[in-house]
Amino acid sequence: MSIKPTHGYEIQKFIQVNKMDSWTKIQSGSIYYALSKLEKEGLIILAEEIGSGTKARKIYSITEKGKKELKELVKQELSHHINEIGSDKFIIYPLLNTLDKNSISDEIIEHIEKLNNQKIYLEKWQKVKVNQKTLEIEKIAFQMMISNLEYQIKWHNALIENIDDCVEASNEITNLIAKFDFSNAKEIEVDRAENIENLKYEILNNPDTAPEKLEELIKALRK
């Protein structure tokens, strides 16, 4: 709704088409409850109701309060750890264009510093705790925790180093979502997924053919 007014069914289809309920914590079945909650909190408003009865669709749009809340949530997420598969941070980059680059950089740099401090702390404890008598599982536990922090630092550094590309990708995704009605989309079959991913790559990495590839992507999603 930060991109365009929409309804619960389209959001549900967007999640299903992108298989987001299999690799994030987002569950399509909870959409209508979430919309009701957001409306009560004044973060979205009912802009229009189309149809009647069981086929009625409520079109919601984001409020100014909602936009401010979204910016704060994006900033908060930038400072969170990547703890597991399905971490919200893995889907953060489509929302990067809600913030200016300086805000993104400031949040990430501060978070990297915290991650580095945690890594240093764990490495010190590793030297103290790990010896010849230490159980193998304890040794591996330290290695896992330190390795996890190293990859998180690497991920966040990559975001900083490629901030322009990430924001551009965010804009492209915003453009796609704004143009396409996902309520008419079908779930992506495995054999179509590779073609769609290739089209996304072309859109993000080849500005000259991006408009043409965007149209191809929209057609592919409609099939």
126, amino acid identity:
Q
Residue 133 pLDDT: 84
**In 3-state terms, what secondary structure has residue 143?**
helix
Residue 153 pLDDT: 93
Judge whether 152 lies within some domain: yes
Judge whether 48 lies within some domain: no
Dihedral angle over CA of 119, 124, 127, 128, nearest 10: -130
Judge whether 144 lies within some domain: yes
Residue 178 pLDDT: 84
CA 23 to CA 21: how far, in whole Å?
A: 6
Query: Could you list the residue range(s) of the whole structural domain that residue 114 is in?
Result: 71-187
Residue 46 pLDDT: 92
Judge whether 174 lies within some domain: yes
pLDDT, averaged per 10 consecutive residues of the chain (223 residues), comes to 88 76 66 90 92 80 94 86 63 81 91 94 89 87 91 90 88 83 63 64 68 72 61
User: What pTM, to 2 d.p., does this model score?
Assistant: 0.62
Judge whether 16 lies within some domain: no
Number of domains in the chain: 1
